Amino acid sequence: MLDPRLNHVVAVAHGGSFTKAAELVGVTQSGITKSIADLERELGFAIFYRTSRGALLTEEGRDFVERASRLLDDARALLKGSRERGDPYAGPLRIGVCPASLEWLLTEPLSALIAKHSGIRAEIIGSSFERVIRLLRNGSIDVAVGFDAAFAEWSDVRREHVATLQGVLFARKGHPLNDLNTVGADDLASYDFVAPSDSRPYGIVIRELYESRGIDWRKHLHIIDNFSIVRQIVARTNAIGVTTAEYSHTASFSAQFVKIDDFNPFAPSPLCCAVRSRWDPKPSVRAFLREMRDRLRTI
Residue 90: which pLDDT band, with cuts at 50, 70 and 90? confident
> Which residue segments constitute the domains of the chain, with CATH numbers given?
4-63 (1.10.10.10), 88-164+270-296 (3.40.190.10), 167-267 (3.40.190.10)
Q: Are 46 and 60 in contact (CB under 8 A)?
A: yes
**pLDDT value, residue 52:** 86
CA separation for the pair 104, 108 (Å, rounded) = 9
State mean pLDDT over 143-152: 92
**pLDDT value, residue 84:** 47
Report the range out of 34-38, 69-73, 86-90, 276-280 with the highest average pLDDT: 34-38
For 267-282, how does the pLDDT look when each residue is reduced to its tens digit (9 = 90+)? 999 999 999 998 888 8
**pLDDT value, residue 99:** 87
Q: Exposed, middle or buried: residue 2 (CB in 10 Å: 0-12, 13-18, 19+)? A: exposed
State mean pLDDT over 85-103: 85
pLDDT at residue 286 tops 60: yes
State mean pLDDT over 128-157: 88
Report the range out of 2-11, 61-70, 148-157, 285-294 with the highest average pLDDT: 285-294
Q: What is the mean pLDDT of the chain?
A: 89
Residue 129: which pLDDT band, with cuts at 50, 70 and 90? confident
Residue 187: which pLDDT band, with cuts at 50, 70 and 90? very high
For 79-89, how does the pLDDT look when each residue is reduced to its tens digit (9 = 90+)? 665 454 567 88
State mean pLDDT over 246-255: 91
pLDDT at residue 235 tops 70: yes
Residues in Cβ contact with 41 at an 8 Å cutoff, skipping those fewer than 6 apart = none
For 3-29, how does the pLDDT look when each residue is reduced to its tens digit (9 = 90+)? 889 999 999 998 899 999 998 888 899
